[in-house]
Chains A and B, each alone.
Chain A
């Protein structure tokens, strides 16, 4: 339409932000290749792409964390460079990070002060926080320490921090991946209100339904290049996914369950007490997972998921051995290796650090849990040829994109590493598989592959327990769903007899109590 700011007709406002030919190269990969992007004032614009498509790199350059190798950035029609995040904030660019940039042991006010260039005295700032949070319906107590806050509340801290600077452009990186549906709906209200006030919002998410509901324009990135633009309201979620992947999306189907078999895992009256002040103690948790079925446990992070995972894997031992029974054996006092010997396989939420050792190669990582059930160790010595072969089998069988079995685990994208870890566990033919957040931060293609593998495992006769915050995922996978809230587990319901709304309310703590007349959610804190 125009190539220079001067040629804009006086009645058309210049775009809030325009990128022309932005290119960024990292050693061994071209993260952004001549990316063009135009963001108009007051629009909610989606940035779509699979993992590794270059979305994060692009927004980091807009926010001044990274610097482009070449290309031009125009802010309100004027050519600009953003030397650092402080420079971005000065222009009026705010960013809410995917992994919150918060400090657990500091208070809300202190956290917000750190993100402001002129914070002023703490008391005055606390007052401003109260005003802004009330105005946008983002309830926050400035004096609380961040580690006390729920994930949703933490995100509010980040948003309020941005709002205090009157942003003209707000970048949101995967904001709803950790929220309940109701919290997400509330966030959308806030965002729509901001957009109506003229703030531009650049929205990154894997949740395509959300993007269809919220955004009026979308730019699609694939392998660092802009491959398309569209109005997401006119597209289907499947169409958007295929635009991102450049291929057809195979959505897994869950064949009806034959007959649930014998219980493989029984948890009875499981309670924990932790010395860690940040932990949520489990309170009288009971459930069963039977052969051939998938049980989903929903809940917002920090409601006891980490503690439940640790209690099941054997990372923390339970005083009453009979409260965790695996394959008929009281396992509460058994460590992780003994539980694996009983037939338990385990995929933790934390991929790097718990699921895999970042600095080790894939074949070494395959060995770490594989040796328990595969013949990879002989007389105390590692059989490297077999470990390599095992790693290669996983890589082939689960379509892991990696530079062979020698690749370090940390060099893989989140989705590929997750496929590798899940493959490593599934190939050991477990009788019981416990998975935490199987597709957290994983793109649509890899997520579909992981879901298919989990359903396949269950239908071949294993019991599968999925602990996830992603309700869409749980509804795809689970035969039954329970909800974890403040360390308590609700009774399970068959998936076809319940709804996302119903589970969402349970996730907000409404066990057995219906919402009040306005549909308002009362959080029990």
Chain B
């Protein structure tokens, strides 16, 4: 392979590796903007991953699989919403429990599906464009989920900063007491946001099991849910920055694979750590600005709301 071809395939793989993070982090961003901290992203991704995979294997329809994955993610998150929003359970503890629950549940559902191969989603092919050197494969040869995840970035931005519903959602996350006094249904809005976050995490997980490595294995998200959570904070709750962070993570993931492939004398465990380390480091550095965090962090994040209090 020529150097250019390697570069092209690295680029293409980077976008793919970033996709599950992008889905999960954008979903969590909306959840947090509404003032809810759901630490169960990893669990919801796993449930989405196993449900999408199982349904695709059973029905042969990837579309059905994706829809079910999103629904499964949303259903898992509704459990979290029920506990934290309506029964006023602590959000941090409930989120952690949700992750553990998701790990167990997905392993249980996935018992009969370990080792079954799946074909993966069809890739875009535009003659001429897809064959372009370096960028062709990366830009014009991906599957639908990769484009969907990228399209979700401006969509989430439009929703949050240019629509009335988005304004209300930000208001609820900023000051739920005031929003309630103005007559907004704080709990309903948060419930919907949590469901959206769950569906997005489910899609992110399904991308992993149905396309990225088309098979099911226990714990296959390997911490991506946690990285997604970190991305949201370090990206100071801005969709475009979340995307940059996801690409960075994807890029380093692919690079270290290539480095491992070239047989460099570094323990592979160390290299596997790199994407996590690099993402956290870079994002910490760019989010050092306290002012920016204060301006963008939802002030009611993680606080319980009771309408009569």
B contact residues around A100 at 8 Å (CB): 178
Structural contact, A101 and B291, CB atoms closer than 8 A: no
B contact residues around A278 at 8 Å (CB): 294
In the complex, A184 has a CB within 8 A of chain B: no
In the complex, which residues 93-111 of chain A have their Cβ closer than 8 Å to any Cβ of chain B?
Answer: 97, 100-106, 110
A114-B179 contact, Cβ under 8 Å, with A104-B299, A106-B171: yes
Q: Which chain B residue shows the least CB distance to A65?
A: B181
B contact residues around A64 at 8 Å (CB): 183
Kindly name the residue among A105, A115, A278 whose own CB sees the greatest number of chain B CB atoms within 10 A.
Answer: A105
A105-B182 contact, Cβ under 8 Å, with A113-B167, A119-B164, A276-B290: no
Q: What total of chain A residues lie within 8 Å of the partner, measured CB to CB?
A: 23
Please, how many angstroms separate the alpha-carbon atoms of A114 and B291 in the complex?
25
Return the contact of A114 from the options B171, B290, B296, B299 (Cβ within 8 A).
Answer: B171
Q: Mark B160-171, 1 if CB is under 8 A from A, else 0.
A: 000010011011
Please, how many angstroms separate the alpha-carbon atoms of A239 and B290 in the complex?
52
Please, how many angstroms separate the alpha-carbon atoms of A115 and B168 in the complex?
10
Interface SS of chain B: helix
A contact residues around B175 at 8 Å (CB): 101-104
In the complex, A216 has a CB within 8 A of chain B: no
What's the least CB distance linking A413 to chain B, in Å?
16
A104-B174 contact, Cβ under 8 Å, with A110-B167, A113-B167, A114-B167: yes
Q: Which chain A residue shows the least CB distance to B297?
A: A105
B contact residues around A85 at 8 Å (CB): 181-183
B contact residues around A275 at 8 Å (CB): 290-291
Q: Which chain B residue shows the least CB distance to A113?
A: B167
Interface SS of chain A: loop
In the complex, A334 has a CB within 8 A of chain B: no
Return the contact of A113 from the options B164, B174, B178, B291 (Cβ within 8 A).
Answer: B164
What's the least CB distance linking B166 to chain A, in Å?
10
Please, how many angstroms separate the alpha-carbon atoms of A104 and B299 in the complex?
9
A103-B178 contact, Cβ under 8 Å, with A85-B183, A113-B167: yes
Q: Which chain B residue shows the least CB distance to A86?
A: B183
Please, how many angstroms separate the alpha-carbon atoms of A277 and B289 in the complex?
10
In the complex, B295 has a CB within 8 A of chain A: yes
Please, how many angstroms separate the alpha-carbon atoms of A458 and B184 in the complex?
49
Structural contact, A106 and B183, CB atoms closer than 8 A: no
What's the least CB distance linking B303 to chain A, in Å?
13
Please, how many angstroms separate the alpha-carbon atoms of A113 and B184 in the complex?
13
In the complex, A150 has a CB within 8 A of chain B: no
A contact residues around B291 at 8 Å (CB): 275-277
A contact residues around B295 at 8 Å (CB): 105, 277
Structural contact, A114 and B182, CB atoms closer than 8 A: yes
Return the contact of A115 from the options B174, B177, B180, B182 (Cβ within 8 A).
Answer: B182
A contact residues around B290 at 8 Å (CB): 275-277
- Give the total number of A-B pairs whose CB atoms are below 8 A apart: 60
Please, how many angstroms separate the alpha-carbon atoms of A86 and B183 in the complex?
6
A276-B294 contact, Cβ under 8 Å, with A85-B183, A115-B182: yes
What's the least CB distance linking B34 to chain A, in Å?
13
Structural contact, B168 and A114, CB atoms closer than 8 A: yes
Please, how many angstroms separate the alpha-carbon atoms of A89 and B181 in the complex?
12
A contact residues around B181 at 8 Å (CB): 65, 85, 97, 101
In the complex, which residues 239-279 of chain A have their Cβ closer than 8 Å to any Cβ of chain B?
Answer: 275-278
Structural contact, B178 and A102, CB atoms closer than 8 A: yes
Return the contact of B296 from the options A102, A105, A110, A119 (Cβ within 8 A).
Answer: A105
A contact residues around B174 at 8 Å (CB): 103-106
B contact residues around A110 at 8 Å (CB): 167, 171
Kindly name the residue among A64, A101, A275, A276 whose own CB sees the greatest number of chain B CB atoms within 10 A.
Answer: A101
In the complex, A84 has a CB within 8 A of chain B: yes
Structural contact, A101 and B183, CB atoms closer than 8 A: no
A contact residues around B171 at 8 Å (CB): 103, 106, 110, 114
A contact residues around B164 at 8 Å (CB): 113, 119
B contact residues around A103 at 8 Å (CB): 170-171, 174-175, 178-179
B contact residues around A104 at 8 Å (CB): 174-175, 299
Structural contact, A101 and B167, CB atoms closer than 8 A: no
Q: Which chain A residue shows the least CB distance to B298?
A: A105
Q: Mark A279-294, 1 if CB is under 8 A from B, else 0.
A: 0000000000000000
Structural contact, A105 and B299, CB atoms closer than 8 A: yes
In the complex, which residues 78-96 of chain A have their Cβ closer than 8 Å to any Cβ of chain B?
Answer: 84-86, 89
Return the contact of A101 from the options B168, B170, B178, B294 (Cβ within 8 A).
Answer: B178
What's the least CB distance linking B228 to chain A, in Å?
23
Structural contact, B167 and A106, CB atoms closer than 8 A: yes
Structural contact, A106 and B178, CB atoms closer than 8 A: no
Please, how many angstroms separate the alpha-carbon atoms of A9 and B230 in the complex?
69
Please, how many angstroms separate the alpha-carbon atoms of A105 and B179 in the complex?
14
Q: Which chain A residue shows the least CB distance to B168?
A: A114
A84-B183 contact, Cβ under 8 Å, with A106-B167, A110-B167, A277-B294: yes
A contact residues around B182 at 8 Å (CB): 85, 101, 114-115
Kindly name the residue among B181, B291, B296 whose own CB sees the greatest number of chain A CB atoms within 10 A.
Answer: B181
Q: Which chain B residue shows the least CB distance to A114?
A: B171
Q: Mark B262-304, 1 if CB is under 8 A from A, else 0.
A: 0000000000000000000000000000110011100100000
Return the contact of A106 from the options B170, B177, B180 (Cβ within 8 A).
Answer: B170
What's the least CB distance linking A235 to chain B, in Å?
32
What's the least CB distance linking B90 to chain A, in Å?
14
Q: Mark B88-102, 1 if CB is under 8 A from A, else 0.
A: 000000000000000
In the complex, which residues 44-88 of chain B have their Cβ closer than 8 Å to any Cβ of chain A?
Answer: none
Please, how many angstroms separate the alpha-carbon atoms of A471 and B234 in the complex?
45
Kindly name the residue among B164, B291, B296 whose own CB sees the greatest number of chain A CB atoms within 10 A.
Answer: B164
Q: Which chain A residue shows the least CB distance to B161?
A: A110
Please, how many angstroms separate the alpha-carbon atoms of A80 and B167 in the complex?
31
Q: Top 4 closest A-B pairs, CB basis?
A: A85-B183, A101-B178, A277-B291, A103-B174
A/B interface sample: 7 pairs, CB < 8 A: A85-B182, A89-B183, A104-B175, A104-B299, A113-B164, A114-B182, A277-B295
| Contacts A103-B171, A106-B171, A113-B167 known; 5 new A-B pairs at CB < 8 A | A103-B178, A106-B167, A275-B291, A276-B294, A278-B294
